[in-house]
């Protein structure tokens, strides 16, 4: 089978999509985008946003009581001053004080609106690491290549790109046919319980279920894999579950210890739990199987035996298992297709000579798309039940008491400590006839081509992927079945992507302008589409 045939059968690629009705407008905007003044202005806008430290923490008091929230008011003032035409032309609704929803009314109300989202908040910077930063974490310093600081990539680059795209379109007198809605949450890094959760309820009340043509939020970037250049929009996200193990037993003086303290019992449970981690399986109906098919179709350096196995796996179970065996050698791929678990927190004891009456640990799970919260809970209880019985501990698993035949020495309690359990996200349709995905794909290709056109340059291929974490889209499932997590940032070595959430986070200025180009083109293409 030739590579052309493989391309057609395994991973359809749409053509680059340029606006037709707004061709002259797009041409004029492109002339603006290539100017150094535009790049410098965009870098300055992102830098200014970074200088407002919109940090959120896992535990914060109510809005209005906890002063940590008030920094978002300063951020709103910055957006108002930086994007005057946007605020003069779009209707702004604040949700739960700090959530922002902009409505850009289109002339044709029969068209479903386009929804663009991002988040205002950033993860905190550990004060102990300040001296490790090449430029201070909230300096927003621009060195001519990078804009430095916390949130420069995650996720103020998306937010500033969206706002700059709208401001640019307004300056060129663009009037949309399709309504555009822009929503910015403010606690995505703390699970979105105050921001996107409230915004979702507002949008449902304002527009209704399945009211939007498509949604684009932060997510996948453009990366090189096996010698090919790939844009990786995530069409689903894994589920989420924290499990707390709480072992309690009588205390006392450590000079007369029992055979096992609560800490010892907990330790043996964690060892057993890690030893029985869920197996990773490649399933034909999963996003990562589609991802693998696209690699077989478009990655020139994919090993021939792996390519052959992936191609054959569509009809052969033995080929599927061969492909699985090879693909699982990649730790990232393995993590994406399986339910992962990580022991991240542990506590116990208060004094060296006092037996600990309680020991706890928290295990974080990212749930595979073919599994569920209930399946993980059931597995956890089944793995730990015999160990609890060995130590004569009663077991309560997620609110259900599991009977013990003998009087209990102590107790093991399993729980979801912060009530943040989340099922795997619905999978967004991404086939050749799914218009929203094809519009997104064509826009990605046209953006890439127009921004970095050069002789001999590799074409970009758009392949569905999977989000390993959870974005604000977890609250937006009812708004549209066409949800894409994609940022159009150019990743890879030297891009700064490896510095997200850590020291020296920095955004490439050139990638920032390309992101702005992407959002402008997405708005124009969606505006002309009758298929979404």
Would residue 210 be called left, alpha or beta, if left means φ above 0 and alpha means ψ between -120 and 50 degrees?
left
Is position 189 annotated in a ligand binding site? yes
* Whether residue 406 lies in the annotated active site: no
* Residue 482 labelled as part of a binding site: no
Helices (H), 172-225: 196-207
Bridge partners of residue 242, in order along the sequence: 364
121 is catalytic: yes
Measured distance CA(379)–CA(387) in Å, rounded: 14
Q: By C-alpha distance, which of 485, 473, 475, 497 is closest to 440? A: 485
* Residue 217 assigned as binding residue: yes
Find the catalytic residue in 155, 167, 188, 423: 188
List C-alpha distances in Å: 409 to 19, 284, 392, 393, 413: 72, 47, 5, 6, 14
Distance of CA 378 to the CA centre of its chain: 27
Find residue 397's DSSP bridge partners: 400, 414
Task: Tell me: is residue 365 an annotated ligand-binding position.
Answer: no
Angle CA(222)–CA(223)–CA(228) in degrees, nearest 5?
115
Round to whole Å and give the CA distance between 249 and 402. 17
18-27, Cβ contacts within 8 angstroms, sequence gap of 24 or more: 18/446, 18/521, 18/525, 19/521, 19/524, 19/525, 19/527, 19/528, 20/528, 21/528, 22/174, 22/524, 22/527, 22/528, 25/172, 25/174, 25/524, 26/520, 26/521, 26/524
Give me the numbers of helices (H) and strands (E) for the chain, helices first please. 15, 20
Burial of 453 (0-12, 13-18, 19+ CB in 10 A): exposed
Q: What are phi and psi of 133, to 5 degrees?
A: -75, 135
Phi, psi (rounded to 5 degrees) for 41? -65, -40
- List Cα–Cα distances, 332 to 2, 74, 123, 466, 496, in angstroms: 29, 38, 23, 11, 18
Structure-token match 């291929």, residue found: 461
Q: Which of 368, 281, 371, 292 is nearest to 321 (CA)?
A: 281
φ, ψ of residue 308 in degrees (nearest 5): -60, -40
- Known binding residues: 119, 154, 189, 217, 501
Which residues are annotated binding-site positions for Zn(2+)?
Answer: 119, 154, 189, 217, 501
Catalytic residues: 121, 188
């Amino acid at each position: 089978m030739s590579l052309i045939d493989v391309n057609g059968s395994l991973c359809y690629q749409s053509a680059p999509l340029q606006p037709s009705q707004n061709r002259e407008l797009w041409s004029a905007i492109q002339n603006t985008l290539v100017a150094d003044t535009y790049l410098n202005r965009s870098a300055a806008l992102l830098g200014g946003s970074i200088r407002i430290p919109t940090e959120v923490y896992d535990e914060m008091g109510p809005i209005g009581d906890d002063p940590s929230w008030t920094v978002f008011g300063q951020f709103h003032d910055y957006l108002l001053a930086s994007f005057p035409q946007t605020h003069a032309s779009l209707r702004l609704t604040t949700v739960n004080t700090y959530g922002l929803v902009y409505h850009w009314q289109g002339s044709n109300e029969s068209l479903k609106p386009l929804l663009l989202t991002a988040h205002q908040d950033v993860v905190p910077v550990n004060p102990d690491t300040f001296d490790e930063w090449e430029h201070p974490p909230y300096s927003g310093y621009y060195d001519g290549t990078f804009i430095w600081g916390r949130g420069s990539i995650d996720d103020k680059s998306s937010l500033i790109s969206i706002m700059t795209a709208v401001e640019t379109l307004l300056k060129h007198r663009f009037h949309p046919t399709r309504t555009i809605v822009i929503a910015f949450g403010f606690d995505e890094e703390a699970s979105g319980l105050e921001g996107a959760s409230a915004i979702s309820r507002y949008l449902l009340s304002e527009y209704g279920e399945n009211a939007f043509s498509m949604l684009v939020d932060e997510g996948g970037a453009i990366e090189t894999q096996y010698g090919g250049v790939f844009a990786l929009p995530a069409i689903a996200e894994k589920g989420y579950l924290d499990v707390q193990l709480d072992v309690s037993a009588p205390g006392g003086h450590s000079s007369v210890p029992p055979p096992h303290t609560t800490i010892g019992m907990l330790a043996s449970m964690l060892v057993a739990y890690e030893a029985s981690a869920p197996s990773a399986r490649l399933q034909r109906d999963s996003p990562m199987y589609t991802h693998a098919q696209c690699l077989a179709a478009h990655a020139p350096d994919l090993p021939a035996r792996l390519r052959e196995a992936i191609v054959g796996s569509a009809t052969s179970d033995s080929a599927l298992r061969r492909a699985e065996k090879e693909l699982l050698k990649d730790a990232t791929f393995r993590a994406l297709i399986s339910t992962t678990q990580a022991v991240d927190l542990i506590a116990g004891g208060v004094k060296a000579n006092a037996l600990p009456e309680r020991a706890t640990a928290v295990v974080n799970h990212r749930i595979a798309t073919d599994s569920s919260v209930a399946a993980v809970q059931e597995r956890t209880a089944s793995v730990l039940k015999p160990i609890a019985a060995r130590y004569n501990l009663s077991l309560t698993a997620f609110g259900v008491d599991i009977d013990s035949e003998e009087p209990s020495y102590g107790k093991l309690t399993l729980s979801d400590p912060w009530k943040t359990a989340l099922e795997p996200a619905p999978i967004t349709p991404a086939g050749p006839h799914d218009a929203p995905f094809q519009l997104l794909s064509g826009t990605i290709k046209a953006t890439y081509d127009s921004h970095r056109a050069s002789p001999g340059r590799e074409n970009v291929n758009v392949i569905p992927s999977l989000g390993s974490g959870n974005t604000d889209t977890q609250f937006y499932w009812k708004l549209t079945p066409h949800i894409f997590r994609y940022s159009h940032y150019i990743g890879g070595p030297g891009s700064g992507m490896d510095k997200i959430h850590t020291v020296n986070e920095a955004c490439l200025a050139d990638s920032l302008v390309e992101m702005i180009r992407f959002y402008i083109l997405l708005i124009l293409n969606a505006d002309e589409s009758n298929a979404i």
